[in-house]
Each structure stands twice: as structure tokens, then as C-alpha cells.
């Protein structure tokens, strides 16, 4: 319910048991992108603030910490990388009471020739979310893109 409110989705299927029972799914479910919020519970998530460490924040030099190098869609890329796509494949709906365990692995990589930044290097990260019984519930694919060189403005 709180996630649905945070993303501005008023659909009662996310919190109202009586309403949800009368829908096609028949019970309360989680909003489509809810699994992405699990990153906030991962102590190694690159965009999560860490106690006692400078954090680059959500803006340019927001806290005085310099952005790290690398790029590739996860933030902190020094200007040559960005998050390009996010895909979710649902094997079943996420329900209240589910305990989801994420497992991430590298996916495909590919290149294309860009117009201003040289080659574009694409990389995919695949996260599988399994429930408390080991059943695959959601497969998430994140695509990052990194340019060969910094694009000159002008």
C-alpha cells in the first residue's frame, strides 16, 4: 500500500482485501515495480547512503562526494553511463506475506555505433526473485549503456 501511494497509484487491489477479492486476481497484490524497492535493503547497493561515508546523492556533487568512475546504468558513472531500460517478467503476482530472495547475474552485452559518443556499450543485469518456497516469481532485467567517450556539448 505504501509503495503504491509513493508512486501515485490509487488502485485498491494493492491494499483493500474486499475489493481485491472481487477482481480477476482475487487477492491483494504488489504494484508492478515493487520488487525494485528491494535494492534499498541491500547494504552493497551503490546508490544507497552508507553511514559515515560521503554520498554523491541524487544531484551533481550533492553532498560534496565525487562520483565514482565506471558508468553503466547504476549511477555514479562520471557522465558516460546511464540506466537505459528496465523490464519485468512476472511468473505470478507478488502477494502479501511473500518473502522474496533476489539473485543477480550478468546478462547479455552488445555494442552499437553512436553518433557523438563513439561506441555505445550495453550491458544487462538479470535479477531473479524467488519466494520462500523457491518458486520463481519475477525476473527483472536492467539495461545500462556506457559511451566510449564523454559527449562534448555544443
DSSP element (H, E) containing 20: helix 17-21
- 3-class DSSP state of 36: helix
Res 61: pLDDT: 58
Q: Spell out, as residue ranges, where the chain has pLDDT lower than 50.
A: 69-77
Res 58: pLDDT: 59
Res 59: pLDDT: 59
Distances (CA, A) of 44 to 13, 50, 72, 80: 32, 9, 16, 22
Res 69: pLDDT: 47
Q: Which of 144, 147, 146 is nearest to 107 (CA)?
A: 144
d(CA 102, CA 46) in angstroms, rounded, equals 16
Q: Whole-prediction pTM value? A: 0.77
Amino acid at each position: 500500500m505504501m509503495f503504491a501511494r509513493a508512486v501515485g497509484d490509487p488502485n485498491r487491489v494493492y491494499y483493500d482485501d474486499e475489493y481485491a477479492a472481487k477482481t480477476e486476481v482475487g487477492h491483494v497484490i504488489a504494484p508492478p515495480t515493487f520488487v525494485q524497492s528491494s535494492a534499498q535493503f541491500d547494504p552493497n547497493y551503490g546508490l544507497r547512503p552508507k553511514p559515515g561515508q560521503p554520498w554523491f546523492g541524487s544531484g551533481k556533487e550533492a553532498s560534496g562526494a565525487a562520483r565514482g568512475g565506471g558508468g553503466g546504468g547504476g549511477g555514479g558513472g562520471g557522465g558516460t553511463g546511464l540506466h537505459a531500460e528496465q523490464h519485468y517478467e512476472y511468473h505470478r503476482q507478488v502477494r502479501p506475506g511473500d518473502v522474496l530472495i533476489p539473485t543477480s547475474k550478468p546478462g547479455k552485452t552488445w555494442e552499437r555505433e553512436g553518433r557523438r559518443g563513439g561506441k555505445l556499450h550495453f550491458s544487462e543485469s538479470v535479477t531473479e526473485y524467488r519466494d520462500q518456497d523457491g518458486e520463481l516469481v519475477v525476473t527483472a532485467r536492467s539495461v545500462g549503456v556506457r559511451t566510449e567517450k564523454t559527449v562534448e556539448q555544443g
